[in-house]
């Protein structure tokens, strides 16, 4: 967030928690991107604050968390001291979560696969209206095909991303027999090592698709421990995943740190994934 927006987010989180009876003497920025995560002390709450345009996404995330908590899924939970919902303050969406102190524990590929399988099993027990992952690919495709939004893309790279987000994504989505609810982005940054064991966070990306789409976000080696994973489908899902990542990096408005490096890296990973499934 811009400095002024971050100050608004901090004040919105502070005021919301205080009105709910939680003591806030200090606010620590845990993560700052389009949404900001703040640790409120001494009540020790994690406040997630989103801009006005993401109110629906924040409400969706809270609903996903509520339903997964009911089936004992390995996810970070909402703070039990307040009503589990989104609070709107100064136009910003504020949700309050349990803060989990990080522990110095390495999550091995086998442990990663185990917690992801448990997450998928819990998601199969949840009834929820969620978009298909191909809807996300379609949004990324619109960024790629709009030259005003992505003016720096070369014709060859634009064609690569368009084919992957269009043709490869559509081919995966044509077969819905393996689809189920997914986390959506279960990468390392969204899996916390805690005293309760590994817990997934950032649930707003929940979508439908094959489990291989989730596995595509996991570190190398995890899929080897996930029973029944289809290697070819995994490579195709990785190609689509990296194509979405690259599409966001090539937007004129993207602000990701070290963006130029990630632009090049994203395209290289798309090509590598397509090569592994014979689609380069």
pLDDT digits (tens, 9 = 90+) for 144-164: 999 999 999 999 999 999 999
Residue of higher predicted confidence among 32 and 213? 213
Give me the percent of the chain exceeding a pLDDT of 90: 90
Query: Would you state the pLDDT for residue 155?
Result: 96
Whether 280 shows a pLDDT value over 90: the answer reads no
List the single range of 3-7, 180-184, 263-267 with lowest mean pLDDT.
3-7
Q: In what order do the strands lie in the sheet with 45-50?
A: 24-32, 36-42, 45-50, 92-98, 87-89
Query: Would you state the pLDDT for residue 21?
Result: 97
Whether 1 shows a pLDDT value over 80: the answer reads no
Query: Would you state the pLDDT for residue 93?
Result: 97
189-216: per-residue pLDDT in tens?
A: 999 999 999 999 999 999 999 999 999 9
Query: Would you state the pLDDT for residue 152?
Result: 96
- Residue 85 CA to residue 77 CA, distance in Å, equals 12
- Residue 188 CA to residue 43 CA, distance in Å, equals 27
Strands of 53-167 (E only): list them: 87-89, 92-98
Look at strands 180-182 and 207-209 and give their pairing.
Answer: antiparallel
Rg (CA), the chain: 19
Which residue's entry shows tokens 């191909």?
134
Degrees, nearest 5: CA angle 187-188-193:
135
Give me the percent of the chain exceeding a pLDDT of 70: 99
238-249: per-residue pLDDT in tens?
A: 999 999 999 999
Query: Would you state the pLDDT for residue 257?
Result: 83
Q: Which residues, in sequence order, are bridge partners of residue 40?
A: 27, 45
Whether 105 shows a pLDDT value over 90: the answer reads no
Q: Are 113 and 223 in contact (CB under 8 A)?
A: yes
SS3 sequence, 83-108? CCCCEEECCEEEEEEECCCCCCCCCC
Query: Would you state the pLDDT for residue 33?
Result: 80
Query: Would you state the pLDDT for residue 253?
Result: 87
Say if pTM beats, i.e. exceeds, 0.85: yes
84-96: per-residue pLDDT in tens?
A: 999 999 999 999 9
- Residue 46 CA to residue 117 CA, distance in Å, equals 26
- Residue 164 CA to residue 175 CA, distance in Å, equals 17
- Residue 243 CA to residue 162 CA, distance in Å, equals 8
Q: Are 82 and 16 in contact (CB under 8 A)?
A: no
CA-wise closest residue to 173 among 132, 217, 136? 132
- Residue 235 CA to residue 246 CA, distance in Å, equals 16
Band of pLDDT at residue 106, cut at 50, 70 and 90: confident
Strands of 143-271 (E only): list them: 180-182, 191-194, 197-200, 207-209
Mean pLDDT of the region 21-27 = 97
Secondary structure class of 214 (helix, strand, coil): helix
Mean pLDDT of the region 48-56 = 93
Whether 104 shows a pLDDT value over 90: the answer reads no
């Amino acid at each position: 967030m811009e400095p002024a927006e971050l100050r608004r987010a901090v004040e919105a989180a502070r005021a919301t928690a205080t009105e709910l009876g939680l003591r806030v003497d200090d606010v620590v920025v845990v993560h700052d991107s389009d949404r900001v995560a703040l640790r409120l002390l001494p009540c020790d709450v994690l406040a997630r604050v989103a801009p006005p345009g993401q109110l629906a996404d924040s409400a969706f995330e809270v609903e996903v968390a509520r339903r997964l908590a009911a089936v004992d899924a390995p996810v970070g939970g909402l703070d039990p001291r307040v009503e589990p919902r989104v609070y709107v303050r100064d136009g910003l969406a504020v949700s309050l979560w349990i803060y989990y102190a990080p522990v110095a524990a390495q999550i091995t590929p086998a442990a990663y696969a185990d917690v992801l399988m448990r997450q998928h099993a819990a998601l199969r027990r949840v009834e929820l209206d969620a978009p298909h992952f191909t809807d996300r690919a379609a949004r990324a495709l619109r960024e790629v095909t709009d030259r005003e939004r992505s003016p720096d893309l070369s014709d060859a790279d634009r064609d690569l991303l368009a084919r992957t987000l269009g043709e490869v994504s559509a081919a995966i989505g044509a077969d819905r027999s393996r689809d189920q609810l997914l986390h959506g982005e279960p990468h390392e940054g969204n899996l916390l090592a805690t005293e309760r064991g590994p817990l997934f966070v950032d649930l707003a990306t929940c979508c439908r698709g094959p489990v291989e789409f989730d596995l595509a976000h996991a570190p190398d080696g995890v899929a080897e421990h996930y029973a029944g994973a289809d290697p070819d489908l995994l490579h195709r899902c990785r190609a689509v995943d990296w194509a979405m990542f690259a599409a966001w990096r090539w937007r004129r408005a993207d602000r990701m740190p070290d963006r130029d490096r990630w632009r090049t890296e994203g395209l290289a990973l798309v090509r590598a994934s397509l090569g592994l499934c014979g689609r380069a």
